[in-house]
Structure 1
């Protein structure tokens, strides 16, 4: 009898079902057996769905043993890549002392996305990672963003800037290709910086000094930056910095004669500086140097007061004046470099004021290269007691500028 039923018989079957619910014995044995085995639900007594409801907030579980679909795989890989660009700096090895042990964020783990070994060899099609397997993509992301250089740039609103940075870093794994001559130059500059500090410590025992020890890599960094600027047409560089490392910069970057620096250490002209304290750390100097490409670059380290950060707006003002005098409307011929301590950069309000003014038409100089030396202690204060932000440079995210965190060792 049931074989003769079709969709038009639904009303008839529903009526029989209701009768079955009221009195199963009112139906013949064949219908009783049918409803008992296939329809009647002793718990719900309804025709409700026999599967668990799902939605975008409660997605169905992945079947055991099934692999990710191509669309699902690409979507999750896109999220993985974006999270590395945003959060990869958390995993970067930035502390030479090993005092900070960073935990890997969940969103940077493959298991967070449900990937397993079956997915590792699948090919990715996503921008700079196209053509690589999932396993290779994961390793490349860690090499780019989690090695000894951490990068914060996803706060930049301009897509073209972000895209340029992504391609530049991810295609090279954030490594700079240096030829043999460049490597020797870096070694020479690093050696000069170390020898200078060691000589001062041995020659002037017990004399108050603001050493660059531990951050000697600042010297080759400045040297390479100035050389690169010269190649791009910069004719003047104005630097500003506080006390730490100042003499090293004067000697090895500005080329101030070391004889003159040591004479100031000896207080040979003490009577001329009575009441001026550690005067040698306040003095500036200017000099013309010749770059490797043969161009003349005028170098100037600004005179500095005892205040740690007042020199930063002074440097910007000097650069703006020089640009105006050179009729440099594109503001590409004079470079500003400001060197800070980490505690002063986040702790002094003048830094925020300078950053805030920097993009206004009346103050714009087309950017400043800021170098923050992380001492891991601000005079006598540890980082966790001196700032609420994770990094001392977090204040710089108010501008559309990338921030690179570099392990100086």
Structure 2
């Protein structure tokens, strides 16, 4: 092989190597003996690798033309081989360097495909994730003595050369941290490449400024303090609180802020009752005194009442919000207790608003008007309306240029555990049918949640396609505040009862980092609580 001219690590030859390996798997005698010996030494389990390369059972099989074999040359791989062997390069050193490179690339690809299976997603620590053999370097023939040897990877992961130790650290941080990414099922190469480069270039984490971190803490404080205030003033009253999933509020703020920077002018929001009061107050800007008045049995707008009205956690509203000079009109659609019923209504409203802005320039209007759907985990997996709405998303006459789906995954459906309510590993699996990228994220890491929300917004604006954020969190109280969940989920609620809140954990983190002073987090709580008390007093005359 002329490694200087036809290195298999070059992008143009990646398909060549895959095809050659597939030929060898099917018939070892069909390839050059030197390649046959080389592949045999990889010691991969043929069935597993074969299935990985084969793709779908119905996929068309084509055999690529393989260029003539060359016998001289050295190139980048030879340079790495020389570096690893004190400047001496023989056939055996070249062979080992090539073997290292192929094994390393296969390991990297395994993390892109299956890294999410070992991500730290559950804030309760109840999900015990077994190590996956395809994510273990030993499965590719690497031993302990191989961890620090330089390996040529041809700008994969942004590096020309890296040791196995460095490669392992990068892929673990990128794909097995607080975020798990599912994107390798996407067939569009541009979309797949965009996500891959977006997460790998920064190891799937945003370095927030001190100001940004304080803003996240402030939003968490408002979300948590509001729920606790309601629990104190109206103990046992149904409110379907967001307790345990408060990271959703700063994430939604990020979607709107980043969206405004990317041309977004209007957002239609659909959601069920879980967390609706928090969204109304802290995202839509509905007066706290109006919400408190509703808890006292009064309508929020007495002059508009024509009948008996509806419960407060079904109501919608609209508002204009300003983000860095970009004004975005928000519309929260009313929704009954029938979960997910609002989804096609939201999509229809988005389509109508886009057409009102001008059908001729529809590509521009799709960038300007977006749907944002908030889901529960059990409903997203269990309600057929979700799949039906997804199925419409790419159809002419129904497409709206992509919707952001945000799942508040509290890992329970009323009293049913996930293992008893769905067959797939994730509640978001149904979204794979439209090749939507899926980001799973630990809700106890608000920076990770905000980071994922930012990527979701950028992807939607870039490709006009649906994307899913699956935020693993928990439900601190029962299905509603009058329930006692410990009767049906005693283990889960024993853990929850002892658990610090997301805000408390994040405030401590920022204190340890020196972003806020000792006690400043509690000061934020006291300040916001005083505001709520003032609005509570004002609600008597609202």
Q: Report deviation, 1:276.
A: 6.0
Quote the Cα distance in structure 1 between the aligned partners of 2:433 and 2:380: 14
CA 1:56–1:380: 2 relative to 1, 3 Å: farther
Q: Cα gap change, 1:149/1:117 in structure 2, threshold over 3 Å: closer, same or farther?
A: same
Distance in 2 separating the partners of 1:269 and 1:159: 52
Q: Look up the match of 1:317.
A: 348
Contact 2:284 2:319 in 1 (8 A): yes
Where does the alignment leave 5 or more consecutive residues of structure 2 unmatched? 1-34, 44-91, 445-542
What is the distance in 1 between the residues matched to 2:292 and 2:152? 60
Q: What is the alpha-carbon distance in structure 1 between the residues aligned to residue 153 and residue 40 of structure 2?
A: 25
> Residue in 2 aligned with 1:124?
152
Deviation at 1:74?
1.0
Structure 1 spans left out of the alignment, 5+ residues: 1-53
Q: 2:379 aligned with 1:350, yes or no?
A: no
Instruction: Tell me which protein shows more helix as a share of its residues.
Output: 2
Does residue 307 (structure 1) correspond to residue 305 (structure 2)? The answer is no
Residue 285 of structure 1: aligned partner: 317
Equivalent-residue separation in structure 2 for 1:162 and 1:134 (angstroms): 25
* Alignment match, 2:113: 86
- Using the size of structure 2 for normalisation, the TM-score is 0.62
Residue 69 of structure 1: SS of its match in structure 2? helix
1:78-157 alignment, distance < 5 Å: 78-121=105-148, 122-126=150-154, 127-130=156-159, 131-157=161-187
Note the 1:259-274 alignment, pairs <5 A: 259-269=289-299
- CA contact 2:272–2:335 (8 Å) conserved in 1: yes
Query: Kindly tell me: are residues 60 and 267 of structure 1, through their superposed partners in 2, closer, same or farther at Cα, counting changes over 3 Å?
Result: closer
Equivalent of 1:59, from 12, 29, 40?
40
> Could you tell me how far 1:230 is from its partner in structure 2?
0.5
Distance (Å, rounded) in 2 between the aligned partners of 1:180 and 1:215: 23
For the structure 1 residues 60 and 250, does the alpha-carbon distance in structure 2 shift closer, same or farther, using more than 3 Å as the test? closer
1:268 Cα deviation from its structure 2 partner: 2.1
Q: Contact conserved, 2:299 with 2:309, CA < 8 A, in 1?
A: no
* d(CA) in 2 for partners of 1:115, 1:129: 22
Q: 2:419 — aligned with what?
A: 384
* 8 Å contact kept, 1:282–1:303: yes
Contact 2:314 2:336 in 1 (8 A): yes
Q: Which has the larger radius of gyration?
A: 1
Cα distance, 1:59 vs structure 2:
2.9
Which residue of 1 is the match for residue 3 of structure 2? none
CA offsets per residue over residues 113-144 of structure 1, 9 Å max, x none? 11123322223324225232211011110000
The answer on whether the counterparts of 1:149 and 1:407 sit within 8 Å (CA) in structure 2 is yes
Tell me, in whole angstroms, the C-alpha distance in 2 between the residues paired with 1:319 and 1:308.
Answer: 20
How far has the Cα of 1:376 moved from its partner? 1.1
In structure 1, what is the Cα distance between the partners aligned to 2:42 and 2:428?
Answer: 42
Offset of residue 55 of structure 1: 6.2
Select the residue among 257, 282, 287 that pairs with 1:257: 287
Q: Does 1:241 align with 2:271?
A: yes
Which moved further from structure 2: 385-394 or 181-190?
A: 181-190
1:329 maps to 2:362 = yes
Q: 1:70 to 1:268 in 2, by over 3 A?
A: same
What is the TM-score when the length of structure 1 is the normalising length?
0.82
1: CA distance, partners of 2:442 / 2:400: 29
